[in-house]
Amino acid sequence: MASEEIVRFFIEEGKEHLNTLENGLLDLQATVRDPEQINELFRAAHSVKGGAAMLGFSSIQKVAHRLEDYFKILKDNPVGVDRKLESLFLKGTDALKELLELLQGPFGLRPEDAERVMGDVEPIFAQLQSYLNQLAEGDAPTAAAGAVASYLELDEEGLPSNFTDRVLEMLRQMLQVFKQAESDATRQKLSSFCQHLQEIGSSSTSWKTLVETVDRAICNTHNPYRILAPVSIVELRQASERLDGDPDVEITPSKSLQYLTEMESGAWTDYVLVRTDPKAIAQSIGPAMDKPKLLKLAKLLYKAAQA
pLDDT tens-place string over residues 20-77: 898 888 778 888 888 888 999 999 999 899 888 888 899 999 999 999 989 988 887 7
Whether the per-residue pLDDT at 288 is higher than 80: the answer is no
Domain annotation covers residue 249: yes
Same domain, 147 and 259: no
Whether the per-residue pLDDT at 299 is higher than 60: the answer is yes
Domain annotation covers residue 158: no
What average pLDDT does range 255-270 have in this prediction?
Answer: 74
Last residue of a domain, one of 151, 176, 207: 151
Whether the per-residue pLDDT at 18 is higher than 50: the answer is yes
Q: How many domains does the chain have?
A: 3
Looking at residue 157, its pLDDT comes to 56
Same domain, 42 and 60: yes
What DSSP string runs through 235-303?
A: HHHHHHHHHHH-TT------HHHHHHHH--TTGGGT-----SSHHHHHHHHGGGS-HHHHHHHHHHHHH
Cβ-proximal residues to 18 (8 Å cutoff; 6+ apart), any chain: 44, 48, 93, 96, 97, 100
Same domain, 281 and 265: no
Cβ-proximal residues to 297 (8 Å cutoff; 6+ apart), any chain: 285, 289
Per cent of the chain over pLDDT 90 is 27
Indicate the average pLDDT of the chain: 82
DSSP 157: S
Same domain, 175 and 112: no
pLDDT digits (tens, 9 = 90+) for 134-177: 887 764 334 444 444 444 443 445 788 778 888 888 888 888 88
Same domain, 221 and 180: yes
Domain annotation covers residue 157: no
CB half-sphere exposure, 303, CA atoms < 13 A: 6
pLDDT digits (tens, 9 = 90+) for 169-227: 888 888 888 889 999 989 998 998 898 898 888 889 999 999 999 999 999 998 889 88
Same domain, 127 and 55: yes
Same domain, 134 and 15: yes
What is the value of pTM for the model shown? Answer: 0.48
DSSP 246: -
Looking at residue 56, its pLDDT comes to 87
Looking at residue 271, its pLDDT comes to 54
Looking at residue 155, its pLDDT comes to 40
CATH number at residue 11: 1.20.120.160
Last residue of a domain, one of 151, 177, 193: 151
Domain annotation covers residue 156: no
Domain annotation covers residue 91: yes
Q: Give Rg (Cα) of the chain.
A: 23
Same domain, 120 and 203: no
Q: Is the model more confident about 111 or about 87?
A: 111
Domain annotation covers residue 184: yes
CB half-sphere exposure, 171, CA atoms < 13 A: 22
How far is Cα 233 from Cα 205, in angstroms, rounded to an integer? Answer: 19
Same domain, 255 and 286: no
Same domain, 85 and 105: yes
- Reported confidence tier of residue 102, pLDDT bands at 50, 70, 90: very high
Whether the per-residue pLDDT at 280 is higher than 70: the answer is no
Last residue of a domain, one of 128, 151, 174: 151
Domain annotation covers residue 135: yes
Looking at residue 106, its pLDDT comes to 86
Same domain, 234 and 291: no
Same domain, 202 and 290: no
Q: Containing domain of residue 304, as a range?
A: 276-307
